[in-house]
Structures are given as C-alpha cells and as structure tokens.
C-alpha cells in the first residue's frame, strides 16, 4: 500500500507545499525584449483619460520588439500594441516582462478584467488577426486608438466607446484634413468605425493573444505568438501537478484516519 510509505510527520505537509509551489511556478513565464528604435509615426492626437482635466500629446502606432530571451514559441521579432496609456517605453532599451493573459494587462489600473479583454479579442479577430504582418500607419494608429478607448474608458459596454465623449477623449487629430466621410481615410473615423462594429456577445475571438506586463511605469503591451502558447504548460507540468494533487489527497486521508484512531 502507498500509505505506509507516506511520512507521518509535519514535514510531509511542508514537502507537499513545495511540490505544489514548484508545479504552479511552471505556469509563469518571463520574456526579455529589446524595444527597437527608431519608432516614428506622423499620426498624433491629444488624449485625456480623466474626462478632459488633463490632455497629453500621443503618437498612436505599432511597436516592434526583438526577443532577447524567453520560452519556446516566441519569434525573434514581433509587433505589439500599448494597453497602458500614460506609461512609457524608451526606444533602444531592454525590458523584462511577465507574460500573462490579457485580463491581467494594464497594471496601472489593476488589470482590465474579462469584459474589456474579450472586447479586445473581438476587435483583433476582426481587424488584425495576425500580428506577424506589419500594419500600415493609418490602420496601426486607428487600432491603437481603439485599444486605448476600450482599456481606459470607465463607461464600459458596447455603444459607449465614443472617441469624443466619456472619460477617454481625443482632439486635435493631426490627419483630420484627410477625413472623407464614409471612406475611413483618417484615424478618428476608422477607429470609431471599428469600435462601433463590436458586439460584445461572445466573439469570434482572436486566439493566442496575451499581454506582457510590468509594474513601475513601463507600458504593458499586447502580443500574439502563433506557435505553441508559452502560457500553456508543458505535459510534464500536468504530470507534476497531478502527482502533487494525488499525494495531497492520500496524505489528507491518512491524517484523517490517524486522527480517528486517536479519539
């Protein structure tokens, strides 16, 4: 029987705790990246996230990172979008991020949560399902603006994402002269068109999209890795977790049995 091989001392619980901790830690992943420079864009806009109290000049667009180190499944170079307004990245610098589900992204507001994360998955599925392809400047800027609107607008829900109203607003679009009604030739009209298309009713959702998150004034970003998702544990991790849970169950029954005998 297995039970006679199990330690009867408190050390069993400590060892089991370490085993469970070791197994669960295998689910975490860190990714070190280099933010490629120069990063340039001709699209600019003023944005507020507090209903108009403070305005900041922004240059919405797409980022490009080079991988320094990380788990399997991450390409040597990849594109990203910012999900944390008013945090910063410096071109030419190297950063070490934690890889997480989108729901945990935007750490300066405590994580965006499931509703906003699923709206981002719907937006990306419809308009940018493959991060390995670089977007042109107009579409990249429009997608970035739409992402910021979803992440930081406190008036949540489909139909409330208006670029001119709410807590998050935009003004002084640098390409406003390019706007042609109904043709979506400027950032504002294109981003609003995409936001208006969202249903919030269950997808379809983009797959393999995650967040690189880092506290302390550094932008969190959206990423997509089309290979094996680094957030999905290796089969050996499942075996380790399964063994730990089996031992936990057996140990618990053994302790209850011994406790019953002592009464």
pLDDT of 46 > 80? The answer is yes
Position 136 scores a pLDDT of: 94
Tokens encoding 238 = 């499942």
CA 129 to chain centroid, in Å, comes to 15
Alpha-carbon distance 20 to 242, whole Å?
10
- What pairs with residue 262 in β-bridges? none
> Which helix (H) or strand (E) is 254 found in, with range?
helix 235-262
Q: Is residue 190 predicted with pLDDT exceeding 80?
A: yes
Question: What is the pLDDT at residue 169?
Answer: 95
Higher pLDDT, 27 or 62: 62
Residue 19 has pLDDT above 60, yes or no: no
Percent above pLDDT 70 for the chain: 74
- Between 236 and 157, the higher pLDDT residue: 157
- What's the alpha-carbon Rg for the chain, to the nearest Å? 23
> What is the arithmetic mean of pLDDT over 52-81?
94
Alpha-carbon torsion (147, 153, 157, 161), positive or negative: negative
Say what the pTM is. Answer: 0.77
The pair of structure tokens assigned to 209 is 């999209």
State residue 228's pLDDT score. Answer: 54
Which percentage of the chain shows pLDDT scores above 90?
61
Given this model, what pLDDT does residue 227 score? Answer: 60
User: Could you tell me the residue ranges of all domains in the chain?
Assistant: 1-27+233-263, 30-232
215 has a pLDDT exceeding 70? yes
Residue 53 tokens read as: 């109290």
Pair type for strands 63-69 and 77-82:
antiparallel
- Token couple for 239: 């075996």
């Amino acid at each position: 029987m297995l039970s006679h091989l199990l330690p009867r001392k408190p050390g069993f619980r400590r060892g089991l705790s370490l085993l469970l901790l070791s197994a669960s830690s295998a689910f975490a992943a860190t990714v070190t990246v280099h933010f490629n420079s120069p990063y340039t864009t001709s699209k600019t806009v003023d944005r507020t996230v507090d209903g108009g109290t403070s305005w900041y000049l922004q240059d919405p667009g797409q980022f490009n990172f080079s991988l320094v180190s990380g788990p399997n499944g991450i390409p040597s170079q990849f594109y990203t979008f910012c999900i944390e307004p008013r945090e910063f990245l410096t071109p030419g610098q190297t950063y070490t991020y934690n890889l997480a589900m989108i729901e945990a992204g935007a750490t300066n507001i405590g994580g965006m949560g499931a509703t906003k994360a699923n709206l981002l998955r719907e937006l990306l599925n419809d308009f940018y399902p493959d991060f390995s392809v670089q977007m042109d400047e107009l579409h990249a800027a429009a997608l970035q603006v739409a992402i910021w609107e979803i992440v930081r607008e406190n008036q949540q829900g489909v139909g409330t994402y208006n670029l001119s109203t709410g807590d998050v607003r935009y003004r002084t679009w640098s390409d406003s002269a390019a706007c042609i009604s109904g043709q979506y030739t400027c950032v504002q009209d294109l981003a609003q068109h995409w936001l208006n298309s969202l249903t919030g009713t269950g997808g379809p959702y983009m797959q393999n999209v995650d967040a690189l998150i880092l506290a302390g004034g550094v932008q969190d970003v959206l990423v997509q890795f089309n290979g094996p998702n680094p957030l999905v544990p290796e089969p050996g991790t499942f075996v380790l977790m399964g063994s730990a849970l089996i031992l936990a169950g057996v140990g618990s029954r053994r302790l209850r049995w011994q406790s019953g005998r002592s009464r």
